[in-house]
Structure 1
Amino acid sequence: MTVETFPLGGRRSVRRLGLGTAQLTGPGYWGPRGDPSDARAVLRRAVERGVTLIDTADNYGPGLAEELIAEALRPYPDDLVIAAKGGVVRTSDSAWHIEGRPERLREMCEAGLRRPRTETIGLYQLHRLDPEVPMAEQLGALDELRQAGKIEHIGLDSVGAGQVEQALGLTTIASVQNRFNLLDRESQAVLALCEAHSLAFLPWFPLANGALTGDAAAAIGRIADRHGATRGQIALAWLLHRSPALCPTPGTGSLRHLDENLDAVRVRLSEEELTELEGLETS
């Protein structure tokens, strides 16, 4: 049986199946997506259904996703953790650059407090490590913000196992967010580190960005039919079974799709099904 919660930072218990907010913005995570009332409805429904981990970033919109969170959910429930990100600057729907200078990270964090209108960010993730700035300086800036009470926990995004180990030698890390799903398991070494150090692993593209197709999709489809589920629900259920450290936050702008995703917690995969899924050819 899968465990439904994870002790983020060893303290704050969050439901392992959360919500990502990138899909609440327009194509390329740029500008609005349709009627903003639809996005607010998705956020409210997620919390009503017990979601306590919402993943966002300052460059979703840019800034728009964080503003929608405030409009929909303030005053925030005590158990809600907003996992924000900073360190990437967007200038169009297809152009962005990494910015990890300490002064810029501090500015981004302050803006990340203003938009969702909160005094503390539950989890602040370094969206990308800046190769031009020493890791110690980047994490040092976040550590100062944590000591000042601006953020509660520090996370990393898109890092290798060696970088995780280096970061753990510099400060306390609560989470890692890397691409990981049924068809892409290149970050298995990072997942193993997360398990060993009790870090949450937030897999991005948990549904393979809609690419559950081909021969793998046929196998997933057979298992889905047995459970009266969708392929996406099987992919999420596999993540929840695969490791207690995995905390997927699939994104959607649709109430129907949100409910479908959250219902994945009801799927109980057998050992035989897990073995079959584990053996699928991956990228």
Structure 2
Amino acid sequence: MSTPISAAQAGTISIGDFTVNRIGLGTNRITNTPEAHDLLKRALELGINFIDTAHLYGDGESEKGISSAIAPYGNGVVVATKGGANGNDPQQLRRELEESLERLQIDRIDLYQLHRVDENIPLEETMQLLKSFQEEGLIRHIGLSEVTVDQLQLAMQIAPIVSVQNEYNVINRKHEALVDFCTQHQIVFIPWFPLGGLFGDTAKVEERVADIARKLNVPTRQVALKWLLQRSPIILPIPGTLSPAHLEDNLRAATLELSQENYEALTN
């Protein structure tokens, strides 16, 4: 008899005043289709209760697909979205927020993340704007994406920051200092492309973990995700997929035993 699969096996993590299971779902390829709806429903069945999307994804189809499949959200499900990928102009950012609220069929977004810092607009001004959205009751918590330690520290002076989402995986390690800072300050770190991404990075991740995956007789994705879970207790991986089989494989990383020796071999 096979062991039941559940995101709860990864443990839990607190994002502001929410607690979610420690493997979520990235939805940059999710669209508003029956197949995507089935995947989202299956994710909830498997205990995934943190779903990450963005105003940008699929030109809005990701947010629409999520709400079509699983709204109204219950059972502690947190849907996080992002705005400001193509600029932080105040009118544009408010419009994107309002569109996300409409697409997701909610009155308040639990976690709203600044998708990118606009080099033409001072971060302090954008943070004041996000704080005003929070005070209006449109968003509950604020997160940032693709920031430096210095930018995070600046933002923290204006409003509480509960999460940071930067690209990070077993081969892309340029944000080590940021992971350490987030760990110290109990800010959730959400690595995007946790299994690699563009420019051949997925193949590089697979190559990096291949020997250990063969020894453990598991898919490479499980080793790559388990490494992230062991890297820091504040890391919340959000692997994306359109495949129910890959979805289950990802969650099996929670129960994979990665020895300290193997973890260090991947880390060093």
TM-score, structure 2 as length reference: 0.92
| One-letter identity of the residue aligned with 2:15 | L
Q: 2:60 aligns with which of 48, 59, 63?
A: 63
| Number of the residue aligned with 1:92 | none
Alignment partner of 1:51 is 2:48: yes
- What secondary structure, in the 3-state scheme, does the structure 1 residue paired with 2:59 have? coil
- What secondary structure, in the 3-state scheme, does the structure 1 residue paired with 2:13 have? strand
Single out whichever of 99-108 and 67-76 deviates more from structure 2. 99-108
| One-letter identity of the residue aligned with 1:109 | L
Alignment partner of 1:196 is 2:184: yes
| Number of the residue aligned with 1:235 | 224
Cα deviation, residue 14, structure 1? 1.2
Q: 2:259 aligns with which of 237, 252, 270?
A: 270
- CA RMSD in angstroms, aligned pairs only: 1.6
Alignment of 1:66-105 (within 5 A): 66-88=63-85, 98-105=86-93
Cα deviation, residue 222, structure 1? 2.3
Mapped to 2, the partners of 1:134 and 1:222 lie a distance apart of 46
Runs of 4 or more, structure 1, over 6 Å off, are: none
Q: 2:34 aligns with which of 33, 37, 53?
A: 37
Q: Is the 8 A contact 2:206 2:221 kept in 1?
A: no
| One-letter identity of the residue aligned with 2:121 | V
Q: 1:23 aligns with which of 17, 29, 33?
A: 29
Gaps of 5+ in 2: 1-8
Mapped to 1, the partners of 2:75 and 2:162 lie a distance apart of 19
| One-letter identity of the residue aligned with 2:170 | L
Gaps of 5+ in 1: 26-31, 89-97
Mapped to 2, the partners of 1:169 and 1:127 lie a distance apart of 19
Mapped to 2, the partners of 1:104 and 1:113 lie a distance apart of 14
Alignment of 1:157-172 (within 5 A): 157-172=145-160
Mapped to 1, the partners of 2:74 and 2:218 lie a distance apart of 31
Cα deviation, residue 148, structure 1? 1.4
Mapped to 2, the partners of 1:3 and 1:43 lie a distance apart of 19
Q: Is the 8 A contact 2:222 2:252 kept in 1?
A: yes
- Paired residues, number: 258
TM-score, structure 1 as length reference: 0.87
Q: Is the 8 A contact 1:8 1:200 kept in 2?
A: yes
Q: Is the 8 A contact 1:3 1:244 kept in 2?
A: no
| One-letter identity of the residue aligned with 1:4 | G
From the superposition, tell whether residues 218 and 111 of structure 1 become closer, same or farther in structure 2 (CA, over 3 Å): closer
- What secondary structure, in the 3-state scheme, does the structure 2 residue paired with 1:174 have? strand
**1:80-132 deviations in whole A, cap 9, x for unaligned?**
111100002xxxxxxxxx22022221111111100010111111000001111
Cα deviation, residue 3, structure 1? 6.1
| One-letter identity of the residue aligned with 1:139 | M
Mapped to 2, the partners of 1:203 and 1:264 lie a distance apart of 16
Q: Is the 8 A contact 1:212 1:231 kept in 2?
A: no
**Percent identity over paired residues:** 39
From the superposition, tell whether residues 67 and 165 of structure 1 become closer, same or farther in structure 2 (CA, over 3 Å): same
Alignment partner of 1:223 is 2:212: yes
| Number of the residue aligned with 2:3 | none
| One-letter identity of the residue aligned with 1:6 | I
